[in-house]
Amino acid sequence: MRTPVPATWGGALDKRRDLWHIDVVRCRRSILYEGFPQGFGVLCAKDEWVQCTPENAASLDYIWVRGKTPACLSKSLARLPSQGERLYHACAVRFMLRARLITYADLGLGIRGSGRLSQEVFRTPLDVREAALPEDLRKAAVNQWLGSLMIPPYKYKVFTVKDPHASVPFTGPRFTKEAPGGWDIFCRQRRVSLASYRPLYQAVLDAELSLMGRLPSACGSSSTRNRASSAWTARWSSCPRSTPSAWRSGRERRGQLASASRSRSWSQTPER
């Protein structure tokens, strides 16, 4: 099953156009800190998948969305948070429906977790972590912890030896197969991981992609989505049409946008 891909693309910048740069300040941390209005769903093996309909869509936590994967950079930017056919968190599905990127006919199976964590569940742990870390590590700590949620629960290794019964520095199940020059010993070792937290990773990344999908409208240009001569990361940049003489006004506009993005709290934003 495909997982969300952080929105990072690169493209050539057209120096004849004004460059707008918006810094989404610590967006993944803010997503965890503010949470979702419906809380964080906790899934178990007894939770059932159901067909998503207009009637039950609002009650589901994760929904399968059908659709083609964007074929190029401009289409990827224009259709955020859509990344093709995969499972999406409900926040991304709501955004795509409102933006008319998809319709209810594109929705497949969905699931709602039988468990529920409160919207504020991560606030205290994040406050404690931030108090213990220097400023330059606080953002990296949250991003690296989220990345660790996708570490697979098993580690695989192949050893080529002359004796099929040779000892190898690996524990766990092993499969031996004759190979040129000796024997291949294929080993699988279970390791400590947080793979069961994958739904949380999914929710945070989909919320981030949805936020990035909203940024073009924040620039006041409906055509900005299709300006593909840009570099996108969690810090979003775009190049709307302009002339070299517009650089001065562009700098002033960027300053206003940066000031506004830092003065508004995440909870004041209508969409997460």
Segment 225-244, tens digit of pLDDT: 444 333 344 344 333 333 33
Using CA atoms, how far residue 191 sits from 35, 64, 143, 200, in Å, is 29, 29, 21, 20
Instruction: Say if CB 219 and CB 198 are below 8 A apart.
Output: no
Do 21 and 224 meet the contact criterion of CB atoms below 8 Å apart?
no
| 243 CB-contact burial (10 Å; exposed 0-12 / middle 13-18 / buried 19+) | exposed
pLDDT grade, residue 148 (50/70/90)? confident
Residue pLDDT, tens place only, 55-79: 999 999 999 999 888 877 767 777 8
Helix (H, G, I), strand (E, B) or coil at 132: helix
What pTM did the predictor assign?
0.66
* ∠ Cα 89 91 96 (to 5°): 100
